[in-house]
Structure formats: structure tokens, C-alpha cells
């Protein structure tokens, strides 16, 4: 299908080093590890690009949890492949943010996987979803 | 949304034991582990219910790879929770089979996560998709 | 070398189900997963055999952390192999308990790996080691 | 105790990025992940420093498997910590090489863990140990 970039938001990128323990019996990166690479990229970009690291959310009594994820596996990733994860905010609604992602093989610029993840902002006090504050939306609207 | 069961196919179930290494810094099962539980269930059910274990596919020069996955995370799973993964074939098309799944907390019968995964049958010789043979479809049509 | 059983303490056993995500590119259980199986067994046995589950330690302000581990890898474990982890207290000293372990292929009763792990009891308030209370030693001296 | 460096062999270093999925319920890097970091470092150094990458061994019909490992856990590693793994050949004997390792927190130069791992060279044809060829020893004697 193809995940379309939303021109209103920036796309940020994080390089990932494939580790031997990410490789499964099929001799390529195990499919669940793609979600771990996405999580790594979001942590990195929250700090490096949005300047609001996860620790800052936790200090304010918030946390982000995955609410749903869709992923298309397009090309296998092998040990030694150079890859990067690009993510981009797609939209906000209430407690939720939808984030598009692309896992790229940087040597060829081909897409290994793409999809989106919806995250909910929750209160760490009671685990309940919390409307994303306007101040956060502004910091993430770059 | 809710993943609808297809009355044409059986639903099979596999109990999963949550391991301490599945738990992440949020003190619940890490989100990518849900895909590992699904994979465990499919392996178990291919052997136990469909009577065509993965090893048999490999012997015949085939393998199954995930082509896309959608998952809704509905409830957290904690260490000590009793869970089971139910899966059900939804439909076949060419080289692809769509499988619905539900991860259940068996103490309360509540759904912790649900979704579907599309798998492609590939030839292990060249990695190319192969139309699923009628004989396989029949064995899986239970 | 061989890890010798200490006749003063019981040996307890936990069955482990090998999951597909435990298998690495060498087509057998990845070496670091042996430590995850050991941890699973200790959690299970603390609850089932010693009747003092990890949660009880945490409630009392304690936790156990691995201080050192030695492991001999003797036989590979494959997907589909039936395995169990046996552990046995070897000795107590101050804040430390030394636990011997054997990972067994139950079909053949052959040892896949063996070794020991030294755990320290720590206070969750300050992370410092705490002398193991006599009451705990007695519950574990079975 | 402290793992002593052997002045006859070089110490090589690989930086590791801690990923969120490496963190466990105790909010620090899970203990089995230390072995994954060590494996990552050996792969990296085989290629970068010894100039005989794992793929070259496989092409020649060899592979390396862990035979035994000892590890002392000295300091916890948190998400965001900068770490590196240093390894050094200690000695050769028959099919075995003993490798010392130190996992370092590079901000403070303190040791998070140290130990050694004994690896066996095996033939991929029959899985049997093979005396390490003199040519390999020479390439690794730097």
C-alpha cells in the first residue's frame, strides 16, 4: 500500500545497529524486533529532535503506551545491513498520536518495512488516557 | 474495532507462560513480545491442530513469512497472568493466508490484544512467494 | 567439570517451553536465553516450592539481583526439544546465596547446560546488599 | 576478583547503544543482555580489528560456539548510559580460545561487568570441535 508522508510534520531518522541476537532461525532480523527498532527510534527522536525525552514525560506524571500498530514487512534485513528508522507524526486526536514509520536499508534507500503506530498518553497515577496537552502538541509540531 | 471470527474456520488455542524476561520497564509484557506469543501459538497449532508442522513445510522446500501484521493492544499483561493465544484462518488468496488472533487473559476471559497477520508461503530455494497448494488449504480448512 | 549436587538442599524442577523467538541464526536456542530460562525457573520455584514468591520479597522491601554467573554449554537445544531447569541452593553467606543449576533435555535426561549463579539480597530503598534474614534461610532450607 | 589483562594480546573496544527493549522490570539492562552485548562486540571486532569476520569462518566451513562463560555483574546499566565492550584474547588451546571481557560505562570509565568466555571452533559439517588452525591464531595474535 505505502504509508504516505504528511507534509505538515518533519520526518526524523535514527540509525540502528543490527545485533546478532536480533537474527532468527531464518537468518534475518526477527519480525518482532522491527517494533523494538521503532521504539528505539522514537526514544532517540523524542530526545534529539523534539527535545522532550521520555524521562521528562515520566517526571510530569505521564507515559506513552502503544495502542495499535500496523506493519508491512517488505524486505528482509540481514546482519551487517545498515538500517535507519524514519518516523513522522501523522495526526493528533484526544489522548492519541498517530506516528508513521519507515525502516530503511540505507545502502540502497529501499524500504524494509513501513507502517504506523498509535500511541496513547496516559497518567502514570492511574493508567488512564489523558488528552495530550497543547504545549506538548506544539513541541511536537515541527 | 474488534476482530470478527469467521464461522468457516476453527479457532485453536495455545497457553503461553509469561517469562520474567518478557517484562519491560513499564512492569508489563513488552509490546513486541505479543508477536512472539502469536508466533509460538501458530507453531504449536500447526503441529497440534492442523497436523502439518513447520518442519514439514521446510522439508517440502517451503516456509511461511509474515507479510503484514495489525495489532490492537487492549489490556496490559503482567507477570503471573495466565494467557492464551487463539488463532483462526480468515481467508486464502494466492500465496497468502490471513490469520486472525486474540490474546486472552484466561482468568477473566478478557482480550489483552487482537489483530491479524498475513503470511506468505515462500519457496526456500529462491525466497519467492508460491501459490498455496490446494492440499495445504484442505488440511488447514478445519 | 560437572556441578555437584549438595545433599543438604532439595533440587526443584521447572519445565520450559522453547519458543521460536528463542532460536538464533545457528538454528538452536540462543546462548543468552539459557539465563532467561534459569530466571524463569527461579521465579517459578520461589512460588511453587519455597512458598516465598518474588512479589513477597518486593513487598518487604527486598529484591534479588544476580551478582555472578558461571555456565557450561554442553549440548545444543533445538525447537521442539523438551527441557527443564533444575536448581538447588548450594550455600548462604551474608547477603549472598549460591544456586546450582542444570538445564536438562528431559527426553534423554542429558544435561544441556550447568552452572551456578550467586544472587545478592538488596534493599529496594537504597539498592544496598542486606544480610539474608534467618527466617528466609529457614524457608529456603528444604 | 577482577579479570586481569594479558599483555600479549590487544584489547579492542565496541560501543553499544542500549535499547529500550533491553531494559527489564528492575529498570536496568536485563542480565542476559550482557551476553548479547558481548556477542555484538566479538562480531564487530572480528571484522573491524582481526579482519576475519564471522562470515569468512562460515565460508571456510567453521563456526564459533560458546563453550562456557563466567560473568561478574558489578554495576547496573540504565537506559541512556553510554557503554562499550572491551575484549581480549587470553589464550588458545586445541579447539578453544579464552576471551576476557569488560563492559565499561564510558562516562565514568567504571566497569559494569567483567568475565571471560571460552569459545570452541567447530566444523559446520558435523558440529565437531576442530583444532584452531595456526593461520587463524596468527591473525588473532595482535
Each residue's pLDDT tens digit in chain B (142 positions)?
Answer: 588 888 889 999 999 999 999 999 989 999 999 999 999 999 999 999 999 998 899 889 999 999 999 999 999 999 999 999 999 999 999 999 999 999 999 999 999 999 999 999 999 888 899 999 998 898 888 7
Is residue A32 scored above 90 in pLDDT? yes
Instruction: Give A31's contacts in chain B (Cβ within 8 Å).
Output: 35, 39, 66, 69
CATH class of C12-140: alpha beta
3-state DSSP helix/strand/coil percent for chain D, to nearest 5? 25, 40, 40
Is residue C1 scored above 80 in pLDDT? no
Give the closest-approach CA distance of C83 to chain A in angstroms.
19
Residue B70's closest CA among B115, B118, B6, B4? B115
Instruction: Give B70's contacts in chain A (Cβ within 8 Å).
Output: 68-70
Distance in angstroms (rounded) separating the CA atoms of residues B22 and C104: 22
* Beta-strand pair B96-105/B110-123: antiparallel
The answer to whether the beta carbons of residues D25 and D64 sit under 8 Å apart is: no
Distance in angstroms (rounded) separating the CA atoms of residues B33 and A5: 28
Is residue D129 scored above 90 in pLDDT? yes
In percent, how much of chain D has pLDDT > 90? Answer: 77
What b/e string do you get for A46-56 counting C-beta neighbours within 10 Å, with b at 16 or more? beebbeebbee
What is the structure's pLDDT at A90? Answer: 95
What separation in angstroms does the CA of A139 have from each of A8, A42, A85, B39, C45?
A: 14, 15, 21, 38, 49
User: Residue D29, exposed/middle/buried by CB under 10 A (0-12, 13-18, 19+)?
Assistant: buried
Give the closest-approach CA distance of B138 to chain A in angstroms.
26
For residue A75, give every residue at least 6 positions away whose Cβ sits within 8 Å of its Cβ, in sequence order, or none: A105, A110, A111, A112, A113
What is the structure's pLDDT at B24? Answer: 94
In this complex, do B69 and A68 lie within 8 Å of one another by their Cβ atoms? Answer: no
| Mean pLDDT lowest among B130-139, C25-34, C83-92, D114-123 | B130-139
How many Cβ atoms from other residues are within 10 Å of residue A125's Cβ? 9
Three-state DSSP state, A75: coil
Interface predicted TM-score (ipTM) over 0.90: yes
Distance in angstroms (rounded) separating the CA atoms of residues C69 and C66: 7
Instruction: Give B33's contacts in chain A (Cβ within 8 Å).
Output: 32
Owner of C-alpha cell 541512556: D80
| Mean pLDDT lowest among A54-68, B71-85, C68-82 | A54-68
* Residue A25, C-alpha cell as written in the block: 532461525
User: Residue A111, exposed/middle/buried by CB under 10 A (0-12, 13-18, 19+)?
Assistant: middle
Amino acid at each position: 500500500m505505502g504509508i504516505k508522508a504528511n507534509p505538515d510534520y518533519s520526518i526524523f531518522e535514527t540509525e540502528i545497529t543490527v545485533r546478532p541476537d536480533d537474527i532468527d532461525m531464518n537468518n534475518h532480523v526477527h519480525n518482532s524486533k522491527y517494533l523494538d527498532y521503532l521504539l528505539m527510534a522514537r526514544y532517540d527522536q523524542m530526545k534529539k529532535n523534539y527535545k522532550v525525552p521520555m524521562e521528562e514525560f515520566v517526571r510530569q506524571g505521564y507515559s506513552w503506551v502503544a495502542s495499535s500498530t500496523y506493519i508491512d514487512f517488505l524486505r528482509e534485513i540481514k546482519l551487517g545491513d545498515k538500517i535507519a528508522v524514519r518516523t513522522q507524526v501523522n495526526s493528533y486526536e484526544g489522548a492519541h498520536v498517530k506516528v508513521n514509520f519507515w525502516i530503511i536499508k540505507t545502502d540502497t534507500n529501499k524500504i524494509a518495512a513501513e507502517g504506523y503506530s498509535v500511541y496513547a498518553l496516559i497518567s502514570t497515577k492511574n493508567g488512564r488516557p489523558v488528552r495530550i496537552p497543547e504545549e506538548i502538541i506544539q513541541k511536537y509540531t515541527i
